[in-house]
């Protein structure tokens, strides 16, 4: 993926997210969350492929491209979310998410690792759907288990910043014990999640740069 493609892709995804949110959902709050969610899905799908550079480029070129592309995702996500009256920070979370996943794939050497990291990123966005069957029902402390599912999910953090009542949204979480177990648990928003992702991305990117010949 070239730098031009990496910078233009978030804008295209933002347009797609806005079109989907406007056509599929009613109400500014729902639409803002839908736009933020689709930007995060785009970040998870494309982020691991952003750390790239042309043959013969400077050693730091992949890290630079990944950082620039992450910034582009942040701007595009913020605009998409703000277009429906939502907090720009919630949409901007797509930037750190794309950067963190790209840095981890870069550290792992690219190749098939990129696809594996993308799949993992998408799985994190769905923790509140699959966590119950895989982990929650066996957990001794269900609130702690559900809190972990939430902590791994950038979409859930974005929903807190947007004030989107996903716990009571029947379309998304009807009869979902993971969501129900989070009642009374303090939940972090997009700001706290962004900080964690930037720390992960910075650490992985730095280690990836050091291990390159």
For the stretch 87-118, pLDDT in tens is: 999 999 999 999 999 999 999 987 899 999 99
- Cα–Cα distance measured from residue 128 to residue 192, given in angstroms and rounded to the nearest whole number: 19
- Tokens representing 78? 């913020």
SS3 content of the chain, % helix, strand, coil (to 5): 75, 0, 25
pTM for the whole thing? 0.89
120-141, pLDDT tens digit by residue? 999 998 887 788 888 888 888 8
Contact 37, 21 (CB under 8 A): no
């Amino acid at each position: 993926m070239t730098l031009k493609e990496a910078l233009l892709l978030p804008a295209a995804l933002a347009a797609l997210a806005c079109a989907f949110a406007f056509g599929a959902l009613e109400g500014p709050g729902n639409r803002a969350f839908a736009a933020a969610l689709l930007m995060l899905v785009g970040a998870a799908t494309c982020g691991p492929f952003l750390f790239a550079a042309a043959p013969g480029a400077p050693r730091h070129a992949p890290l630079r491209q990944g950082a620039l592309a992450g910034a582009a995702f942040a701007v595009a996500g913020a605009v998409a979310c703000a277009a429906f009256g939502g907090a720009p920070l919630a949409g901007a979370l797509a930037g750190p998410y794309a950067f963190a996943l790209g840095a981890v794939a870069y550290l792992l050497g690219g190749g098939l690792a990129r696809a594996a990291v993308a799949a993992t990123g998408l799985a994190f966005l769905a923790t509140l759907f699959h966590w119950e069957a895989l982990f929650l029902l066996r957990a001794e402390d269900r609130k702690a288990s559900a809190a972990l599912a939430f902590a791994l999910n950038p979409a859930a953090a974005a929903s807190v910043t947007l004030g989107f009542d996903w716990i009571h949204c029947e379309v998304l979480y009807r009869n979902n014990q993971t969501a129900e177990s989070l009642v009374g648990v303090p939940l972090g928003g997009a700001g706290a999640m962004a900080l964690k992702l930037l720390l992960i991305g910075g650490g992985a990117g730095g280690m990836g740069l050091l291990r390159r010949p």
